[in-house]
Amino acid sequence: MAVRAVRAVVVPAVGAPLEITGIDLPDPGPGQVRIRLAAAGVCHSDLSLSDGTLRVPVPAVLGHEGAGTVVTVGEGVTHLAPGDGVVLNWAPSCGTCHPCSLGEVWLCADALSGAADVHAHRADDGTGLHPGLNVAAFAEETVVPASCVLPAPDGVPLTDAALLGCAVLTGYGAVHHAAKVRPGETVAVFGVGGVGLATLQAARIAGASKIVAVDVSPEKEELARAAGATDYVLASDTTAREIRALTGKQGVDVAVECVGRAVTIRTAWESTRRGGRTTVVGIGGKDQQVTFNALEIFHWGRTLSGCVYGNANPAEDLPVLAEHIRAGRLDLGALVTEHIALDGIPAAFENMRAGKGGRALVVF
C-alpha cells in the first residue's frame, strides 16, 4: 500500500506524554478521503482521551475538531473532489440503527465502525496507530471515511470552520437542541473554555435576557462578556446563591454545565429555577458521583439532561451556523485565545489542565 509520511501528535499510551512524530498514512481505500488539515482546535476531550477519562484504543493520533482540503478520494466517493473544503465530523451516523431511525444521529450506535479501518503507522518503527476520535485531526494530513466529512460552508475561512466540528456544534446544540432556550429566558453557563464560549454566544443568539458566566478564573471575564455574558460569577461555595440573587431569587431557567465535575453539576442544578432545565455538556470521569435526595427531585421539578455532541445533526446544523457567522451573530474568532503549531499542543494541554484560556487552534 502506498504511504506518505506526515507529522502528527500521538498519545503512545494512556497517561503518557504526547509525542510529535512522523506517521505513515495509507492511501484512501474505498469510501475514504484524504484531507490536508488547515486548522484543528484543541478540545478538552483530547485531554480526556490522553489521560484515560475517555477510553479509546492506543497508541492513537489525537485531534477531532478540524477542517481542511480534500487531497484525494478513494473508490466510490463521488460527492467530494480534490480541492473541496471540508469540516471533519467525528461522530458520523449510519442512518439505520435505532437512534438514527428516530433522528437521534448523535447517538448513532455504529458511529465508530468505519474509522476503525483506517490505520496509520508510526514512521520510525511501524507501530499501528488508531484514529483517536475517528478523524485524527492533529496531523498535517489524515485519511477518514467519507461519512466523517461535511462540506465546509461558503464564506467561512477553513481556519474558522475547524471550530464548527466540535466546540461550536456542541455549544450551539446544547442551547438550541438540548436545553431549547427560548427568547427572554435566563441562562447560566459553567466553564468558560472553548465550548463554554460557544454556549454563551448561542445563548445570545437564542435571545436570552440574562446570561451568567461562571468560571474559577477571574481572567476569563472579558472573554465571557465578549461572547455575550451579561454577568460574571467567580466560582465559589456561594455560586448558586449569587445566581439566584441575580435572577429575582428564582435561579436561571437554564443552566449549562461545560466542566464535567460533580461539584459543578450540583451547583448548576442548584442554580436552576424550580421547573427549569440543567444540561450537562462536560464529560466527567466515573469517579465524579453526583447525588440528589428524593425530596428535592420532586420539590424542584427540574429536568437534568445529558448532551452528546450538542444533540446535533451536523449536516443540518452546519449551514445554520454558517448563516449566523455570515450575519455576524456568531464570532468564531472570539473563541480562539491562542494560535499554535502542532508542537504547541502539549503546552495547550497544560493550559487546559490549569483552566487557562479559551480555544487553542493549531494552524497548519
CB of 97 to Zn ion, least distance (A): 3
Say how many residues touch Zn ion, by CB under 5 A.
9
Among 108, 240, 256, 307, which residue interacts with Zn ion (rule: CB under 5 A)?
108
Among 94, 226, 308, 363, which residue interacts with Zn ion (rule: CB under 5 A)?
94
Which residues, in sequence order, are CB contacts of 340 under 8 Å at separation 6+? 42, 347, 348, 360, 361, 362, 363
CB of 89 to Zn ion, least distance (A): 12
From residue 249, give the alpha-carbon distance in Å to each of 93, 181, 187, 232, 253.
43, 20, 14, 17, 12
CB of 48 to Zn ion, least distance (A): 9
CB of 303 to Zn ion, least distance (A): 24
Which segment (14-22, 100-108, 201-209, 262-270) binds Zn ion by CB under 5 A?
A: 100-108
Q: Report the interhelical angle of 239-246 vs 262-271 (nearest 10°).
A: 30
From residue 177, give the alpha-carbon distance in Å to each of 54, 182, 256, 326.
24, 11, 12, 21
Q: Grid cell 456561594 — which residue? A: 238
Residues 218-257, one symbol each (x = binds Zn ion by CB under 5 A, - = not), give ----------------------------------------
CB of 43 to Zn ion, least distance (A): 3
Among 97, 262, 283, 320, which residue interacts with Zn ion (rule: CB under 5 A)?
97
Which segment (94-102, 259-267, 281-289, 332-340) binds Zn ion by CB under 5 A?
A: 94-102
Tell me whether strands 252-257 and 272-280 are parallel, antiparallel or unpaired.
parallel
CB of 44 to Zn ion, least distance (A): 7
Q: Which is nearer to Zn ion, 166 or 322 (CB)?
A: 166
Q: Which is nearer to Zn ion, 94 or 226 (CB)?
A: 94
Cis peptide before 131 (omega within 30 of 0): no
Q: Which is nearer to Zn ion, 296 or 350 (CB)?
A: 350
When CB distances to Zn ion are compared, the closest residue is: 43
Are 41 and 166 in contact by the 8 Å Cβ rule? The answer is yes
Which segment (25-33, 109-117, 253-261, 340-348) binds Zn ion by CB under 5 A?
A: 109-117
From residue 184, give the alpha-carbon distance in Å to each of 168, 210, 245, 280.
22, 8, 18, 21
Look at residues 246, 249, 250, 248 and name the one whose alpha carbon lies nearest to residue 229.
Answer: 246
Among 23, 73, 100, 362, which residue interacts with Zn ion (rule: CB under 5 A)?
100
Among 9, 123, 149, 166, which residue interacts with Zn ion (rule: CB under 5 A)?
166
Q: Which is nearer to Zn ion, 40 or 252 (CB)?
A: 40
Q: What is the DSSP letter of 62?
A: -
Which segment (9-17, 165-173, 202-210, 220-228) binds Zn ion by CB under 5 A?
A: 165-173
Q: Which is nearer to Zn ion, 108 or 259 (CB)?
A: 108
The amino acid occupying position 353 is R
Residues 37-56, one symbol each (x = binds Zn ion by CB under 5 A, - = not), give ------x-x-----------
Are 166 and 50 in contact by the 8 Å Cβ rule? The answer is no
CB atoms within 10 A of CB 61: 26
Q: Which is nearer to Zn ion, 85 or 132 (CB)?
A: 132
Which residues, in sequence order, are CB contacts of 204 under 8 Å at separation 6+? 211, 227, 228, 329
CB atoms within 10 A of CB 54: 15
Binding-site ranges for Zn ion (CB under 5 A): 43, 45, 93-94, 97, 100, 108, 110, 166
